[in-house]
Chain A
Amino acid sequence: MSYFVQVVVDGLSNGAIYAALALAIVLVFRATGLVNFAQGGMAVAATFVAYALVRAGVPVLAALLAAVVAGFALGALLERGVMRHFERGEPDTAIVATIALLLLLTGGSAFFFGYEPHPFPSLFPNRTFEVLGVFVSLRSVGTIVVLLAVMAGLQLLFRSTKLGLAMRAVADNPESSALSALPVSRLLMVGWGLAAALGAIAGVLVAPQLFISPGMLDFVLVYALAAAILGGLDSPVGAVVAAAFIGVAESLAGAYVDIVGDDLKIAVPFLAVMVILVLRPQGLFGKKTTVRV
């Protein structure tokens, strides 16, 4: 029983990381209608900023904040400088453009820091504690708590601030928003910036576990994409629920199903995605859309 709870908590903590990146993907998708395959690459680049600062002697928490700021700036910059060009064009071209960004960011990170993984200090002490006879790691719980707080903050931003309202309006209908004198292009930049900042948090939280390297988030991005699609791509709640589900499901499958094991547990989210999408192509929480000719 105790092992079971431990596995579930570890799964939830991984799920929280996937959820952060999945939320970033959903944020970008809602604002600009495209899926950003460079979301992981952007997060890694921001995490490397934190890494450089930590190596220079800055405390981890300050480095995290710096990474968030750097991530926001990077996201806004890339939206304005590159993605703006592709936003209303062919979606396939836009996907390839984000792949170009992924190549650039990965190459850039490798250029400065090399491909080999480096250790990264954890925000939380590496300890386990006991609750009702069950041992859980402080890091797992800390990760979950931080990301829950971030999600609550985002919810607050979107539901009860003017900026959030304006961003929702732009996501919903850019033309009408422009006619209502909203600064659409600046709001899109903010949307990309927020998404990248979210990725930076995920990157710094997961770096101690994965060790930081340019390809660190490749797998996490795949999980996040699975979660975002499973949740319906335009539903933040759906993405978080799906990410938690994926995290726990793969953790349980890896621990209890012998054929799956630790190496093949990445197949679990895909099987889930395949099955669910074939039964329900709009995702669990997505809205069904009709296409007009």
Chain B
Amino acid sequence: MATASGTAPATAPATTAPRRRSPLVRLAALLGGLALAVVLVVAPLVSSPFINYQLSSIMVFAVALLGLNVVMGYTGQVSLGQSAFLGLGAYVTAYGVVQGWPLWLSLVLSAALPATVGMLVALAAARLRGLALAMITIALPIVGVPLARRLDEFTGGSQGQVVSFLRAPETTGLANDQWRYYVVTVIAVVVFVLVRNLVRGRVGRSFAVVKENEAVALSMGVSPYRTKVLAFTIASLLGGLAGFMYLAVVQYTSPETLVFATSINLVAAMVIGGSASIVGTVLGALYYVLVPVVAGQVSSSRTALISGAVLLAVLFVLPAGLASLPRRVGGRLRRRTPAAEGAPATPDPDGTAPAVPTPAAASTDRR
């Protein structure tokens, strides 16, 4: 599996022929992946609960960002409503916990319900072009917050809902924070592998062509409407799943979970990390979780200032996000070699690209 992910081209929708890479690079990628897998498995055992909480949050928002990236990065449809699906997923899970549903049912419904809502919205909104879609998606968190306050039978109103679930089983000897970290990490890794395969296959190519030019997509027999609905449904499904993970980590949800500001920050983090990039999604999640922790210690308005400034800087000098940084640097260095024009765009990120899916393979094998 590690080799399979190693050979897949990083810019799959564009390139067709499989590239050949030196065994040395392949080995390095494999070793890097293994190292990351070991770190992912060992980290919670040696860290404080605070660190584990942050690590788990990174997993949560990586999945939410991945959903956003599917619709916005890969398919090119601006969505400003991802936080609404995050909140919906968290509320569905909380309701399930309060009602005493089995955990698997909460998990399935926390993904299925937001996906259904997302699909219904998209069926209406995907007929519209970019801006109108952005507009409709804004409505989701804006209307969602008062709605969550109103439906206090299900949501606990403004106070929100405190739950207690996913305790570590006695036999594992793990603390709750460690156990929850492992649960969300497994979910995140599985989701990343699945989505990575999706965006590199036929569906991913239809996303790319719809993003590029809808008329061209139509002439190639790809329905832009259906593709957009599909992308939006996947995005809301992943948003809902991230909501389940969020509740697993935080054990509390309130209308604050789905505020519009969260959607805005998610968009910022996605673009900063790198749109239409799996590595970029992970970098975006790191950014999303860590910057407020660092900046918040100074003052909370700093977070917005820093985010805005970094986002602008990225848009100006690094439009493909932080994920393209090694490629850009590598491209600069290799500009003199004859094959430099398109080729250097790929080898460099490969050093990092498989690092995400590879531990996926490694850590699922462990279980």
Q: Name A residues whose Cβ lies closer than 8 Å to a Cβ of B.
A: 35, 82, 85-86, 91-93, 95-97, 99-108, 110-111, 114-115, 214-215, 218-219, 222, 225-226, 229, 233, 261, 263-264, 266-267, 270, 273-274, 277-278, 281, 291-293
A264 touches B147 (CB 8 A): yes
Selected from A96, A273, A277, A292, the residue in CB contact (under 8 A) with B311 is A96
B305 touches A111 (CB 8 A): yes
- Can you report 18 residue pairs joining A to B where beta carbons are below 8 Å apart? A82-B312, A91-B131, A92-B76, A93-B315, A95-B131, A96-B271, A96-B311, A101-B308, A102-B264, A214-B301, A215-B261, A219-B142, A222-B142, A263-B146, A270-B142, A273-B139, A277-B136, A293-B219
The B contact surface, by secondary structure, is helix
Contacts of A233 in B (CB 8 A): 131
Nearest-neighbour CB distance to chain B for A60, whole angstroms, equals: 26
Roughly how many angstroms separate A101 CA and B146 CA in the complex, as a whole number?
27
Roughly how many angstroms separate A49 CA and B311 CA in the complex, as a whole number?
25
B304 touches A103 (CB 8 A): yes
A111 touches B301 (CB 8 A): yes
Roughly how many angstroms separate A92 CA and B308 CA in the complex, as a whole number?
16
Contacts of B268 in A (CB 8 A): 96, 99-100, 103
Roughly how many angstroms separate A281 CA and B267 CA in the complex, as a whole number?
25
Selected from A104, A115, A229, A292, the residue in CB contact (under 8 A) with B308 is A104
A111 touches B302 (CB 8 A): yes
Interface bits B306-342 vs A (CB < 8 Å: 1, else 0): 1111011001100100000000000000000000000
Residue among B131, B216, B267 having the largest count of chain A Cβ atoms under 10 Å: B131
Having A115-B300, A267-B146, one finds 5 other A-B pairs with CB under 8 Å, namely: A35-B131, A93-B319, A104-B305, A219-B142, A266-B146
A293 touches B301 (CB 8 A): no
B131 touches A229 (CB 8 A): yes
Nearest-neighbour CB distance to chain A for B256, whole angstroms, equals: 13
Selected from B72, B132, B303, the residue in CB contact (under 8 A) with A107 is B303
Known: A99-B264, A101-B308. A266 touches B128 (CB 8 A): no
Selected from A92, A101, A229, A266, the residue in CB contact (under 8 A) with B132 is A229
A100 touches B301 (CB 8 A): no
Roughly how many angstroms separate A1 CA and B19 CA in the complex, as a whole number?
76
Nearest-neighbour CB distance to chain B for A74, whole angstroms, equals: 15
Residue among A93, A103, A111 having the largest count of chain B Cβ atoms under 10 Å: A103
Nearest-neighbour CB distance to chain A for B234, whole angstroms, equals: 18
Selected from A110, A229, A273, the residue in CB contact (under 8 A) with B301 is A110
Contacts of B307 in A (CB 8 A): 100, 103, 107
Nearest neighbor of A222 in chain B, beta-carbon distance: B142
Known: A96-B315, A99-B264, A100-B315. A35 touches B134 (CB 8 A): yes
Question: Would you list which residues of chain B between 69 and 115 have a CB under 8 Å from chain A?
Answer: 72, 76, 78
Nearest-neighbour CB distance to chain B for A72, whole angstroms, equals: 22
Q: Name B residues whose Cβ lies closer than 8 Å to a Cβ of A.
A: 72, 76, 78, 124-125, 127-132, 134-136, 138-139, 142-143, 146-147, 149-150, 213-216, 219, 260-261, 264-265, 267-268, 271, 299-309, 311-312, 315-316, 319
B304 touches A106 (CB 8 A): yes
Selected from A214, A225, A261, A292, the residue in CB contact (under 8 A) with B138 is A225
Roughly how many angstroms separate A267 CA and B124 CA in the complex, as a whole number?
16
A102 touches B308 (CB 8 A): yes
Roughly how many angstroms separate A92 CA and B130 CA in the complex, as a whole number?
8
B136 touches A273 (CB 8 A): yes
Roughly how many angstroms separate A226 CA and B265 CA in the complex, as a whole number?
22
Contacts of A293 in B (CB 8 A): 213, 215-216, 219
Selected from B129, B306, B312, the residue in CB contact (under 8 A) with A97 is B312
Contacts of A99 in B (CB 8 A): 264, 267-268, 311
Contacts of A115 in B (CB 8 A): 300-301
B311 touches A103 (CB 8 A): yes
Nearest-neighbour CB distance to chain B for A161, whole angstroms, equals: 30
Nearest-neighbour CB distance to chain B for A292, whole angstroms, equals: 8
Roughly how many angstroms separate A175 CA and B147 CA in the complex, as a whole number?
48
Known: A91-B130, A264-B147. A222 touches B138 (CB 8 A): yes
Contacts of A226 in B (CB 8 A): 135
Residue among A99, A266, A274 having the largest count of chain B Cβ atoms under 10 Å: A99
A264 touches B301 (CB 8 A): no
Roughly how many angstroms separate A82 CA and B135 CA in the complex, as a whole number?
23
